Every structure is written in C-alpha cells, then in structure tokens.
Amino acid sequence: MRIRIAGARVLGGQAQDIEIADGRLAEPGSAGRPDLTVDADGLIALPGLVDMHVHLREPGREDAETVETGSRAAARGGFTAVLAMANTQPTADTAGVVEQVWRLGRESGWTQVQPIGAVTAGLEGTRLAELGAMARSAAGVRIFSDDGHCVSDPLLMRRALEYVKGFDGMIAQHAQEPRLTEGAQMNEGVVSAELGLPGWPAAAEEAIIARDVLLAQHVGARLHICHVSTAGSVEIIRWAKSRGARITAEVTPHHLILTDDLVRSYDPVYKVNPPLRTAEDAAALRQAVLDGTIDVIATDHAPHPAEHKCCEWTAAAMGMVGMETALAVVRLAMREEEGFGWDQVARLMSRNPARIAGLPGQGHGFEPGAHANIVLVDPGAPHTIDPADSASLGRNNPFAGTEVDTAVHSTFLYGHPVVLDGELQAPHPASKEDTWPL
C-alpha cells in the first residue's frame, strides 16, 4: 500500500510530505501514485508511541480488558507498541502464557503487543519464574516484572538481576516495601492524617529503589524503575545514574499532574498504586522529565470492571486507565514547563521506550527505509475527556471531564492506517499471516 501524508509538521517543524511504500518510509516523490492521501495540514507527525507499562488483563480477567480491546485503545492513543504486564490469571510466568499473549496481540493487529514476563512464579516472591524459557520463547521476552507486587526479597532480586544479565534482559521493579505499606490506602502525609486513612510513606518506594540500584550496579545488570512517584526517588535515580548504573525509570501521566488532595473526594477513581503524592512530588517529577533523569512516560493503563471502582474507598481496586488520553494529559501536565516540546514527547514516549524495550521496528525517526510507525497529532483540538468514548473496557479514567487541546488524528502501524481522523479503521491486513512484520 502506498500512502502520502501531505503537509505534516515532523516533530513540530516545517510542513512536509511523508511517503509510505510497503510499510516503510520512502524518499519524497519516489513512492508513485498513492492509494491513500491523508491531509495533514496543521498536524504534528511523531514516531509511533510506545507504552512500556500496560495491563491487558487477558488471560483470566477478560471482564476488565482483553488484548483486542486494549490494542484498540492503544491505537486510538497513538501507540504502535505496548508492553503487557504479567499479572494475568494465570500469571505470565511460563513460556506458554507469554506466547499466548504475544499471539493474541499478533492476531489482533491494532498495535504491536510485547509481553513482559513475571520475575517470580505466581508473583509470589518466593522463587524465580521460568525466565530463560520465556526469553527463548516465540515472544522473545526481555523484560521481567512482578508489577503489582514488589520483589522484596533482596537475595531473590539479586539472583533475578544476575540471571537476566546473561541475555541482556532487564528487571522492571515495582518499588514498594510491603511491610511499610500494609493496609495503606493513600499517600502518607497531611491529607491522610486529616482523612484518617492509613498512609503509604514515600520511604517505602525510595528504600526499595535505593537497594535495587545498588544491587544492579553490583552485578552490572539492567534495572528499570516502574511508575516513580516521589521527589526522593528522583534524587536516588539521579545519584545512581551519576555513578554509571544501568538504570532507567518511568513516570505516569497521572503522577505528573494529580495530587493526593483529590482523595478528599473519596472517589475511588483516584485510588492507584503507587498513590497520588503531593504537589511538590509532582513538580519534582516534571523536572526529572525535563532533565532526563526519568527516561520514559508510560501509562500504567489498569482497567477494572465498574463494580471494582463503584464502591467505598477502602474496598476499591487500585488503578487508572490512560492509553487513549495519555498524550493529551502529558501535554496538559507539561504545558508550563519551558523546553518541553514535540521532540521531548518523541524521546519520552517513543524513542526511549523502544530502545529500552528492544523493539527494533519502533521509535525510528523519519529517514527513508524506516518502518512506518507514525502518529499524527492535532495540537489544536479542544475537547472534554469522556470515559464513555473509549475503546477500552475500563472506564476508570481520573481525567473525566478535563478540558484538553491535543488529540490523536491518525495512527499508522507498519505502514497501515489503523486510525484515521480519530476513528478506528481496520487491523493490519497481515496480522493473521506469516508475513506479519512483528
């Protein structure tokens, strides 16, 4: 298929035409007569977004999300690749389960789905999962995480780091000291004291990060810190990077802008793990995004059935959805931060996550020959976020009713338009064939 994208501003620069032929970018004027021309006047062209942290729930919790519905949501959000966390039922702790998720993603064809394997069997933190078998599987797993649970045993964490180092794998840690957070319902601070809710101290996150960066440096392994949420965590990561540790870190859009003051409403949509922190923490996270201490913005998309959120605070599940609104929320959160432009969006939401996750077809620039994973963004599309207008099964979006001005116009997955003018089109036509490029 030959496609001409006419007049797009690549990374916010001058308007130019982008040509796609057979799934790759072509020299301008070389692709011949296009089968499809997309008018991109006023639109920004970015490399397809890559989300390093999503929960697609399948297998086992298809009432919350499926690979199909989550992939559709990803495409609408401009994501051409997502990495699916292991806390499914059964847990993605064997080659069989990660291959199931990988094949479901291939067959869906809306985005590239790469499974993340569990670090420990059943996420129970007592013995290592089948790390080598998952790495050797068709899914080719390279990132392992017990997300939702912390690998709290330091010896087990060391062994995991040593094991994955052998094939340049990576451990993605959910930093939460379990004994310090027993029964915790929100950030520990002034608001938790006033509301009488058990608090979750910042030190519970920071202590695990401090331990793990030392372990990672000791064994020379790769460590990724999931959903960083405190100013103290930023300082520890900054220090570790200054010592040459192989550390990367992510932040979510919601931790960049939302604070624990919202818990005063007792609306469970604001209940999340790690919890919303203070305004000072959010400001430190935004600065860390600007100065490169934080490498990736990832959504931690965590859909739940309505009954798990429409209940009293203490009984509610933790988690928020976010793939379809991530780009708009990031732009909203960073709007007053000087120096944050479209190239920074591409770095944090495409190039860095693709590089860290080892996805060779993703995160490219716009040079001829590169895989045509592209998102077109309308920076002047004011609208109100409405969870009902979602491809995801989850409606637990904390930004419901928020006014934003950025919208995804079109998403091209390996040269195929899966979204045009904000509407889902059709999955990649080769998704069920051996020629599928993923």
Other C-beta atoms within 10 Å of 172: how many? Answer: 28
Confidence of residue 62 (pLDDT cuts 50, 70, 90): very high
Q: What is the mean pLDDT of residues 229-257?
A: 97
Active site positions, annotated = 300
pLDDT of residue 437: 72
Output 193 or 34, whichever has higher pLDDT: 193
Structure tokens of 255? 């931790």
433, with CB counted inside 10 A (0-12, 13-18, 19+), is: exposed
Per this entry, what is the length of the chain?
438
Q: Is the pLDDT of residue 438 over 70?
A: no
What mean pLDDT do residues 23-28 have?
Answer: 92
Rounded-to-integer distance, Cα 122 and Cα 273, Å: 19
What is the predicted pLDDT for the residue at 433?
A: 74
pLDDT at residue number 64: 98
List domains and CATH numbers for the chain. 2-44+370-393+402-424 (2.30.40.10), 49-357 (3.20.20.140)
What are 386-420's pLDDT values in tens digits?
999 999 999 999 999 999 999 999 999 999 999 99
* pLDDT tens column, 418-427: 999 999 999 9
- Residue 35 assigned to a binding site: no
- Please indicate if the annotation marks 304 as binding a ligand: yes
| pLDDT tens, position by position, 88-117 | 999 999 999 999 999 999 999 999 999 999
Q: For all residues of the chain together, what is the average pLDDT? A: 96
Q: Directed axis angle between helix 154-165 and helix 202-219, to 10°?
A: 40
User: Taking phi first (over 0 means left), then psi (-120 to 50 degrees means alpha), and beta for anything else, what does residue 188 get?
Assistant: beta
Q: How far apart are CA 81 and CA 98, in angstroms?
A: 16
Position 431 scores a pLDDT of 78
pTM as predicted: 0.97
- What letter does residue 212 receive in the DSSP assignment? H
- Cβ atoms of 203 and 232 within 8 Å: the answer is yes
Residues 327-365: tens digit of each pLDDT: 999 999 999 898 999 999 999 999 999 999 999 999 999
Instruction: Confirm whether residue 53 is marked as ligand binding.
Output: yes
Predicted confidence at residue 31, as pLDDT, reads 64
Residue 273 labelled as part of a binding site: yes
Q: Is 262 marked as a binding-site residue?
A: no
Pairing between β-strand 407-413 and β-strand 416-420 as defined by DSSP bridges: antiparallel
297 pLDDT more than 90: yes
Note the pLDDT tens digit of each residue in 65-77: 999 999 999 999 9
Is 218 part of any known ligand binding site? no
Cβ neighbours for 21, distance < 8 A, ≥ 6 positions apart? 2, 30, 31, 32, 415
Contacts of 147 (CB under 8 A, 6+ apart): 53, 85, 86, 87, 116, 172, 174, 226
Beta strands at 2-10 and 36-39: parallel, antiparallel or unpaired: parallel
Reported as a single tens digit per residue, the pLDDT across 184-242 is 999 999 999 999 999 999 999 999 999 999 999 999 999 999 999 999 999 999 999 99
Which secondary-structure segment (H or E) carries 53? strand 49-54
Please say if the pLDDT value at position 434 is more than 70: no
Which helix or strand (DSSP H or E) is residue 263 part of?
none
25: β partners = 20
